Amino acid sequence: MIEIKEAKSAKEMKQFVDLPFDVYKNSPYWVPPIKKDDLASFDPKNDIFKTVDAKFFLAYKNNELVGRVVAIINWKEVKELNKPKIRFGWLVFKDDIDILNALLTTVENIGKQNNLAYIEGPMGFSNMDKAGMLTEGFDKIATLIGLYNYEYYPKYIQQLGYEPEAEWLEYSIDIANLGTVKQMDKLCEMIRKRYEIDTYHFKTTNDLLPYVDEMFDLLNVTYAELQSFVPIEKFQVEHYKKKYLKFLHPDFISCVKDKEGKMIAFAITMPSFSKAFQKAKGTIFPFGWWHLMKAQKQNDHVEFYLIGIDPHYQSKGVNALIFKELYDRFTARGIKTLETNPLLEENLKVQQLWKNFDPTIHKRRKTFSKKLN
């Protein structure tokens, strides 16, 4: 019999954060989070909980902790976007369909109690959190903002009557295939003159900091037309600044401005920290920082995280300036391969950005949904 218990105490929340370290302890592909960051995200003082309700649940079998899930209602999504949905997230469970059934039934019941029409997940509190469940690429290491789960996850959830909802693709690209941008010098110069635009040049992360808010504003504009997009709020921007800014390096960022100095496009990439996070084992101190610093300086693999282009400048070749600048920096650093972040399949404009670089789809992830009768 599976027993479900809501996690409320500090001890229980620590168990919630620790569980995946047990479930995935033998996996060479799972990338552990920093435990301190997860606990901070789950802290009731987190501003996300001004518009989001969340309950954390632990599953026990024979007094052994065997699973976890978060039941999430994003009221901004429900009320302003008219999506009567309860989300489930941070799903982890051992190889037993009964554990999954008990966890999801708990979330379903909360959805019914709140008169919501359907359940979907795995998803986070907002669109800035990780979403989806790996459905292909179980033999590939996850990225820093990627996900990993065992192959039985999508198998069991569909057996419980859940159906695929949204899908994301992740591409692997040989940097040599970006070589076509070497012939783009004349094109880039023409684009600069025609639209009176140019790239920023940041020397340090501190130089970049004043522009981060502008990047998130541009993301809201770029992805507003997607049916699944929930606008990013200011307090969320501050949260993600604290969480990820320490990993950014100006050599891996490209920004484009118009003649008034307004940002019209940007791209954020990072050297892969996946293996460094595996070595850090969930903590920055005392040795985790050393692994992360080494990964930033000595790496031949880069991960492409975010790209935003003002709709007014889309389809005008602005992305050529970004790719040319990044290609030059990557080759100077000896970068050999690039992996994209998960790209929503319906976002055809972003998919088109990669079509000329011979990309290989090496991972897929999906959310799954079910009507609440």
CA dihedral 212→214→216→218, nearest 10 degrees, is -140
pLDDT of residue 228: 62
Q: Residues near 25 by Cβ (< 8 Å), separated by ≥ 6?
A: none
Q: Residues near 11 by Cβ (< 8 Å), separated by ≥ 6?
A: none
Torsion angles phi and psi, residue 118, rounded to 5: -155, 165
Taken in order of first residue, the domains within the chain and their CATH numbers are 2-167 (3.40.630.30), 172-365 (3.40.630.30)
Amino acid at 212: V
% pLDDT > 90, the chain: 51
In 37-124, DSSP assigns E strands to 52-61, 64-74, 85-93, 118-121
Q: What is the mean pLDDT of residues 20-26?
A: 97
245-264 pLDDT tens trace = 777 888 899 999 999 989 99
pLDDT of residue 105: 98
Distance CA 32, CA 133 (A): 16
Which among 357, 125, 170 has a CA at the least distance from the CA of 274?
170
Residue 373: exposure state from Cβ atoms within 10 A (0-12, 13-18, ≥19): exposed
305-325 pLDDT tens trace = 888 889 888 888 888 888 888
pLDDT of residue 179: 64
Look at 218 and 10; give whichever has higher pLDDT. Answer: 10
Q: How confident is the model at residue 227 (pLDDT cuts 50, 70, 90)?
A: low
Residue 17: exposure state from Cβ atoms within 10 A (0-12, 13-18, ≥19): buried
